[in-house]
């Protein structure tokens, strides 16, 4: 098929965990004839969904890695990226969004807008990704897509309108009413593959007309001629394509979200959703993409989705397959051709494009070239995720992706010698793949420490080591990433002097430090009259930064400090860079203790849901964990409790929640902020730190 | 120090002079027509409790939690602005002592709210004051109000309710069997350009509301 960029859609599926992303993707593959049978996510049939291409995912029923796949729908090419819903893997979501032009936002018809829907919404807004919403699970008890649409408006501030109404709900879900065409759509055949278009059921016409009027009024805001046509011919007389064009305009401007509904699980509503993707979501050349010119002070350069310009592509995801490293790449400009040379602007290395493939979940098709707007995969390229590949002499980098800092760490020890060798291989790969997964060796204990975004995040990597690398490790107790900070102003005036024969050292540094809520560290040079010569100012800065790596309370990194130096002294012979660095370290420690230091801990935003009868238990669990209940909402016999809880109190929470709610409770958690630890906890942590220090562990 | 200043400048101090404040175990009712500032008054009572270290539960039947949180932030900011007070530490304390409950009038009744409050207490949350905003008193039975009042009395809490009603006299507000449960009733109305809160039951006098900030002020 000839490459027509206007007929390409790069889309992702973003949603709260368990909203049915993978099931929806699976149905999309099925209706686009990519697969010829439907399997359940949890693999009851022993096969598992195609998009969940890792054994571990099949078992857990969650999608950990986004798998890219290309499908054909009518005469359109859709590159589909299935993204993980669990917040612990948010970096995967972020990465996918960076390369997508549009998204399907899936919501559960029962639970509606949940905590992660809010996270996903924030991400879509951050990357300016237009979207359509799909209210899934309309076959579940308590389903109410109209209520979910209201929540999209109220909770997320989206200009959301029903594009369809469900015909029947819960176990009586039969099909949908298309409010643009004003027709009923039924999904016949064993897997809902046969669409039957019919008249709207009589008992629904009044509702359909009401919601259509609402929809057309909203759409007419984006097209004056549509407004005129409504006035002239009334709501029934408007041409379908005019309505679609107006809605498309609103969607692309991120000022309109069409709400579709159905149930992937019972094969209802997916084909109209695919129509919505091609109708309302943008083609690659309708999206503004910007690169940074590294040869011109990182000035922004607008990229063009054309084939005859230098190639600019982004490697957004790595995967280690049986044939070596696979790099999922989005082509923004120009073409990637097999056998052609590309340049990695981060590591400044040239490489030849070897095997080039297009992915269908875990299966691949060999191709000779990838055009602007396409998503392809390269074989055997030495790179990290987020690298930019260019040709034709340009030196561009795609804007870097936002990567959150890890909040939890775990020590891991290989079980035996063979595991030890495999472990470094595995860790090397995982850190390349996932920027939120970090590894370092503790210089004192010599232990290997892995860091990540949550317990599950680290758990999954430990499990993957075992399965994919045959490497068993013993894990330590999870450790929270504490920080230290100051609460008031502390001054310092410190002299470092060593003048006892031989070459001496001399430096005096004076000034003050104060809390800074905006930045982790700020250094202000307010030295007058050369009390400290200019050449030693960077030495002071360096010394302060070194001192901040390890606080005096528990040895944690120090954040939120603004340091001003306003006086000092030097010696014409004995002063040097090192002397002033040491003086600054001494000055910092002197001021730090005066500035009333405190310990900070990561506080997580936790959302729990359970049947209302367990509401008291939810409250109790939060209170037992030093948590703060922010709010609680009751709807349809389901309680949702939002709370802020220290991460250190959340270890093993899923088991505890299950046992206190007869297995009916669910929770999600994401990092919110760093907060001060209470005095008793602070004392405990300090005592433990002193003990470990005395024992020589620190 | 800062908190003392905030308490001293709390708009509720203007209300104190009417002697219509609630004692432990009592409930109060603020009536007004829609959109005049009932929520603001309830939030002012709520903030005053929080500043006095009394843990508060804010029950809302008609607003999202995020809107309720925004109400507290803006009212507190207005109080602080008057005397350029710093809110950093106070904000954190307020969040720690405030719980917001969100219910749907269609599916939730006052006895169910009582159950939730009991569950909160059993879970270890201390509650000294409650505000209930947006409940349609016309759809609430006298028995349900009494059930809630009994709980407040037993637990020695205080509770303020809002009620959308235009009547400026006690008779026009609620039926006697419902009204009996409230120690204090006050009606908010616009008199020309001035908003004032008139005490209809328990205490006497009026309190004005600043038309711009909706904070209680000198009459």
- Kindly compute the dihedral angle of the four CA atoms of residues A324, A330, A336, A341, in this order, to the nearest 10 degrees: -60
Who contacts A520 (Cβ-Cβ below 8 Å, separation ≥6)?
A: A559, A560, A561
The tens digit of pLDDT for each residue in A94-141 reads 666 778 899 999 999 988 887 677 777 877 887 889 999 999 999 998
pLDDT, residue A468, reads: 82
CB distance A383 to A327 below 8 Å: yes
pLDDT exceeds 50 at position A61: no
Q: From chain A, pick out residues whose CB is under 8 angstroms from the CB of B100.
A: 630-632
Task: Work out whether the CA dihedral A342, A343, A344, A348 comes out positive or negative.
Answer: positive
Hey, are the CB atoms on A632 and B102 less than 8 Å from each other?
yes
Q: Which residue spans of chain A are classified as CATH 3.40.50.300?
A: 5-280
Q: What are the start and end residues of each CATH 3.30.70.240 domain in chain A?
A: 601-680
pLDDT band at A457 (very low <50, low <70, confident <90, very high): confident
Residue A62 pLDDT exceeds 50: no
pLDDT of residue A63: 43
Rounded CA-CA distance A96/A94 in Å is 5
pLDDT tens digit sequence for A208-219: 999 999 999 999
pLDDT at residue A71 is higher than 80:
yes
CA distance A180 to A156: 24
First to last CA, chain B: 28
Domain with CATH 3.30.70.870 in chain A: 409-480
**Mean pLDDT of the B34-55 span:** 91
Q: Is residue A490 a contact partner of residue A595, using CB atoms and an 8 Å limit?
A: yes
CATH homologous superfamily of domain A409-480?
Elongation Factor G (Translational Gtpase), domain 3 (3.30.70.870)
Could you tell me the two tokens for B214?
């909706």
Rounded CA-CA distance A593/A213 in Å is 67
Beta carbons within 10 angstroms of residue B15's beta carbon: 23
pLDDT in tens, B145-175: 999 999 999 999 999 999 998 888 888 889 9
What pLDDT, on a 0 to 100 scale, did the predictor assign at position B183? 94
Chain A residues close to B119, C-beta within 8 Å: 615-616, 619
Q: Name chain A contacts of B96, Cβ cutoff 8 Å.
A: 628
Round to whole Å and give the CA distance between B56 and B12.
16
Residue pairs spanning A and B at CB distance below 8 A: 66
Distance CA B62, CA B105 (A): 8
Considering A1-10, A546-555, A637-646, the range whose residues carry the highest mean pLDDT is: A546-555
Average pLDDT over residues A265-288: 93
124-163 in chain B: CB under 8 A from chain A: 124-125
Kindly list the residues of chain A whose beta carbon comes within 8 Å of any beta carbon in chain B. 154-155, 615-624, 628-636, 642, 644, 675
Q: Which CATH number fits domain A5-280: 3.30.360.10, 3.40.50.10490, 3.40.50.300, 3.30.70.920?
A: 3.40.50.300
d(CA A130, CA A118): 15
pLDDT bucket at A43, cuts 50 / 70 / 90: very low
The predicted model gives A239-257 an average pLDDT of 94
State how far the Cα of A259 lies from the Cα of A148, in Å rounded to an integer. 9
10 Å CB burial of residue A58 (0-12, 13-18, 19+) is: buried
Whether A631 and B118 lie within 8 Å, measured CB to CB: no
User: What is the reported pTM?
Assistant: 0.65
Is residue A127 helix, strand or coil? coil
Is 80 exceeded by the pLDDT of residue A685? yes
Residues A371, A375, A380, CA angle at the centre, nearest 5°?
100
- Distance from C-alpha of A273 to C-alpha of A105, rounded to nearest angstrom: 11
Q: Quick one: A289-398 is in which CATH superfamily?
A: Translation factors (2.40.30.10)
Report, as an integer, the average pLDDT of A555-572: 93
Q: Which CATH architecture has domain A484-595?
A: 2-Layer Sandwich (3.30)
Arch. (CATH architecture) of A601-680:
2-Layer Sandwich (3.30)
Q: Which pLDDT does position A564 carry in this prediction?
A: 96
Q: What angle do CA A522, A527, A533 make, to 5 degrees?
A: 105
DSSP 8-state assignment for residue A483: E
Q: pLDDT confidence of A270, banded at 50, 70, 90?
A: very high
Judge whether B37 and B215 are in contact, CB under 8 Å: no
């Amino acid at each position: 098929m000839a490459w027509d960029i206007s007929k390409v859609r790069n889309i992702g599926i973003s949603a709260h965990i368990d909203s049915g992303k993978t099931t929806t993707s699976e149905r999309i593959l099925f209706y686009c004839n990519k697969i010829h049978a439907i399997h359940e996510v949890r693999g009851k049939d022993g096969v598992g969904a195609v998009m969940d291409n890792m054994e571990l995912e099949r078992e857990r029923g969650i999608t950990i890695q986004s798998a890219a796949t290309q499908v054909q729908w009518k005469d359109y090419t859709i590159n589909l990226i299935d993204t993980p819903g669990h917040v612990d893997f948010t970096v995967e979501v972020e990465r996918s969004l960076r390369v997508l032009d549009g998204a399907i936002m899936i919501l559960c018809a029962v639970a509606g807008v949940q905590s992660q829907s809010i996270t996903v919404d924030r991400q879509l807004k951050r990357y300016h990704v237009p979207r359509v919403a799909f209210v899934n699970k309309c076959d579940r008890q308590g389903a109410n897509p109209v209520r979910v649409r209201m929540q999209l408006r109220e909770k997320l501030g989206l200009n959301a309108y029903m594009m369809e109404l469900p015909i029947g709900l819960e176990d009586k879900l039969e099909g949908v009413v298309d409010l643009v065409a004003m027709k009923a759509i039924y999904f016949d055949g064993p897997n809902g593959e046969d669409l039957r278009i019919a008249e709207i059921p009589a008992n629904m016409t009044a509702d359909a007309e009401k919601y259509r009027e609402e929809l057309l009024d909203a759409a007419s805001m984006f097209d004056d001629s549509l407004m005129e046509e409504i006035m002239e011919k009334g709501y029934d007389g408007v041409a379908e394509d005019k309505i679609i064009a107006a809605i498309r305009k609103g969607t692309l401007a991120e000022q309109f979200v069409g709400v579709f509904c159905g149930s992937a699980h019972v094969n209802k509503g997916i084909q109209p959703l695919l129509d919505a993707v091609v109708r309302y979501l943008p083609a690659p050349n309708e999206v503004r993409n910007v690169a940074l010119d590294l040869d011109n002070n990182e000035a922004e350069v607008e990229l063009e989705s054309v084939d005859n310009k230098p190639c600019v592509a982004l490697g957004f995801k790595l995967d280690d397959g049986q044939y070596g490293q696979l790099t999922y790449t989005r082509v923004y400009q120009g073409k990637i051709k097999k056998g052609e040379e590309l340049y990695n602007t981060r590591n400044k290395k040239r490489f030849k494009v070897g095997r080039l493939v297009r992915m269908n979940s875990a299966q691949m098709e060999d191709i000779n070239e990838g055009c602007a707007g396409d998503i392809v995969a390269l074989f055997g390229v030495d790179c990290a995720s987020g690298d930019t590949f260019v040709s034709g002499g340009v030196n561009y980098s795609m804007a870097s992706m936002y990567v959150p800092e890890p909040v939890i760490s775990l020590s891991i020890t290989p079980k035996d010698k063979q595991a030890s060798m495999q472990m470094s291989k595995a860790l090397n790969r995982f850190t390349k793949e996932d920027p939120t997964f970090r590894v370092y060796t503790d210089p004192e204990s010599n232990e290997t420490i892995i860091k990540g975004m949550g317990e599950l995040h680290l758990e999954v990597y430990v499990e993957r080591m075992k399965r994919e690398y045959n490497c068993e490790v013993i894990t330590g107790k999870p450790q929270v990433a504490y920080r230290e900070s100051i609460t008031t102003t502390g001054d310092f005036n410190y002299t470092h002097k060593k003048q006892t024969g031989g070459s001496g050292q001399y430096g005096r540094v004076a000034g003050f430090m104060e809390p800074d809520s905006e930045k982790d560290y700020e250094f202000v040079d307010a030295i007058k009259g050369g009390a400290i010569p200019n050449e030693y100012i960077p030495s002071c800065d360096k010394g302060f930064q070194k001192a901040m790596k390890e606080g005096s309370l528990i040895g944690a990194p120090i954040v939120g400090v603004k340091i001003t130096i306003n006086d000092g002294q030097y010696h014409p012979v004995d002063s040097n860079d090192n002397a002033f660095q040491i003086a600054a370290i001494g000055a910092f420690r002197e001021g730090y203790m005066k500035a009333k230091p405190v310990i900070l801990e990561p506080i997580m935003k936790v959302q729990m849901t359970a049947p209302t009868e367990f509401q008291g238990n939810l409250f109790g669990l939060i209170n037992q964990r030093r948590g703060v209940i922010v709010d609680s909402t009751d709807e349809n016999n389901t309680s949702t409790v939002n709370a802020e809880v220290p991460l250190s109190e959340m270890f093993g929470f899923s088991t505890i929640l299950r046992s206190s709610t007869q297995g009916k409770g669910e929770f999600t958690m994401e990092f919110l902020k760093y907060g001060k630890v209470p005095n008793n906890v602070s004392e405990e942590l300090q005592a433990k730190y002193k003990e470990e220090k005395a024992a020589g562990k620190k | 120090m800062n908190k003392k200043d905030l308490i001293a400048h709390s708009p509720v101090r203007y209300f104190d002079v009417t002697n219509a404040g609630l004692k432990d175990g009592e409930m109060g009712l603020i009536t007004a027509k829609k959109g005049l500032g009932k929520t603001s008054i309830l939030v002012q009572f709520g903030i005053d409790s929080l500043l006095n270290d009394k843990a508060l539960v804010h029950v809302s039947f008609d607003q999202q939690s995020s809107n309720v949180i925004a109400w507290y932030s803006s009212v507190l900011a207005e109080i602080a602005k008057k005397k350029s007070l710093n809110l950093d530490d106070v904000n954190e304390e307020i969040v720690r002592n405030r719980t917001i409950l969100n219910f749907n009038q269609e599916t939730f009744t006052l006895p169910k709210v009582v159950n939730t409050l009991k569950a909160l207490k059993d879970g270890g949350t201390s509650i000294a004051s409650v505000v209930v905003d947006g409940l349609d008193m016309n759809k609430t039975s006298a028995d349900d109000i009494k059930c809630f009042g009994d709980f407040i009395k037993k637990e020695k809490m205080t509770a303020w309710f809002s009620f959308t009603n235009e009547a400026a006299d006690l008779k026009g507000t609620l039926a006697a069997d419902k009204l009996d449960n409230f120690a204090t009733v006050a009606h908010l109305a616009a008199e020309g350009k001035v908003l004032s809160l008139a005490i209809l039951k328990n205490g006497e006098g009026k309190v004005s509301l600043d038309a711009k900030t909706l904070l209680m002020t000198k009459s």
